[in-house]
Structure 1
Amino acid sequence: MMKPSQDATQRPATDAVLVGGPDDLPEVARHASAGDETTIKVLHRGGYEHFEREEGPGGREAAGPPVYRWTMRTRIAE
């Protein structure tokens, strides 16, 4: 999960693109910051949308921002 702040020992955050998930996920939420995170969770409609980092084209090995693809949704326990 992304952390709101990073200490000096962590790699600086990079822009990431989030692909897939619900159609009503705001466009601003589809551009996140991530360091070496393999997963990103986005709070949305009383739950979390989960995204995992892709490998290959558009992912870790390619030039440009890393791409995270939607994998599942979890609800917040009440």
Structure 2
Amino acid sequence: MAQVANLFDIIHLNKKLADKHIAAEVHLRDACGRQTLWFELKDVEEDTLSRAQDVAISYFAGKGKPIEFDIAKGINFWIKQF
């Protein structure tokens, strides 16, 4: 069975980002075959993306769902499929 993110995951992850004062939101695109999650960065601070990535990695690892990021910018990410 494919690992997926549900709307509650997105809501909880966005809450964690807000609680840590990270100016980013996670959004979900669902397409045939694979979901794509992506960060909308709300500021241009240099470490915003890396801090948001750390929160997402920790959140999904706690749910047994490791993630991987695109190699170009790191804004898009997916739950790894086994």
User: One fold, TM greater than 0.5?
Assistant: no
> Normalized against structure 1, the TM-score is what?
0.35
Higher strand share: 1
The structure having more radius of gyration, on CA atoms, is 1
Higher helix share: 2
